[in-house]
Amino acid sequence: MDYETGSKMLNTHQCSQCKAPLSLIWDADANDYALVCGTDHSHQGYERIVSPGQEVARGGADKVTGPGAQADLEKQLAKAEHPLSMLPAKDLGDNKAIAKQALEALVKWGLSLGLKPYLGHVCLYHGKPYVTIDGYYYKLYKNMTPIRIGTRPLSIDERSEYHVPEGAHAFLAESWLGNTRLPTTGLGVVTQEELDGKSERDPEKWRSPVAHAHPQRMAEKRAEWQVLRKLVPLEEVEL
């Protein structure tokens, strides 16, 4: 990976196996920079360091405030009347305001999958409902599945293997069970065309403002979402 990307990831990622900070080294064999676990070079997988708020959204309130916190939070969520303002107000794809009826349908759909819509587990993207990254992690942790996810930019060889267009940002999300790498991966690509595209409605604006502001982060999120989508089945639950 390029030096700049690697340096940035030192601040935002950690070893997914032991949570240690990462080191950036020169890998002479690959003729490229590489990130490694700062404690044990044999460790694999770099995960994004999540904020306490995200930890809670993913079902990890116990880790943030102590044992029983998650159960308490979910009891409160089940009892309380929630203002619709706790839900995403805008469609993540076209940025249009979501109508009250569509929000209510989104909440119902989320609940039917055993998710907590008020923790940000569902969203609308171009009018279609999706489970968010936090929602998938919530299901993964709920099922006590000890799967680890790591994300990283594609190597030069992988970019040609996956036919990534010139200038595009591309991330790979990988999964492990213990030390065993699983065959399930996710690819996230943000193309130059997408970054430079102007809105059809308003040519003064970018078509994908989020991708334009944070293309690498966007590619990484897409990769992570893809691997989670494959790993976590969505099944309706009894309400």
Residue numbers of the site for Zn ion (CB under 5 A)? 15, 17-18, 20, 37, 39-40, 43
What does residue 163 show for φ and ψ, rounded to 5 degrees?
A: 55, 45
In angstroms, what is the minimal distance from the CB of 18 to Zn ion? Answer: 3
In angstroms, what is the minimal distance from the CB of 163 to Zn ion? Answer: 32
Give ∠ CA 153-158-160 in degrees, rounded to 5.
Answer: 120
In angstroms, what is the minimal distance from the CB of 14 to Zn ion? Answer: 8
| 43 versus 58: smaller Cβ distance to Zn ion | 43
Question: Where does residue 68 fall: left (phi above 0), alpha (psi -120 to 50 degrees), or beta otherwise?
Answer: left
In angstroms, what is the minimal distance from the CB of 203 to Zn ion? Answer: 48
Encoded amino acid at 231, one letter: L
| 18 versus 30: smaller Cβ distance to Zn ion | 18
Q: Which of 51, 13, 3 is nearest to 150 (CA)?
A: 13
| 39 versus 185: smaller Cβ distance to Zn ion | 39
Give the DSSP letter string of 101-130. Answer: HHHHHHHHHHHHTT--GGGT-EEEETTEEE
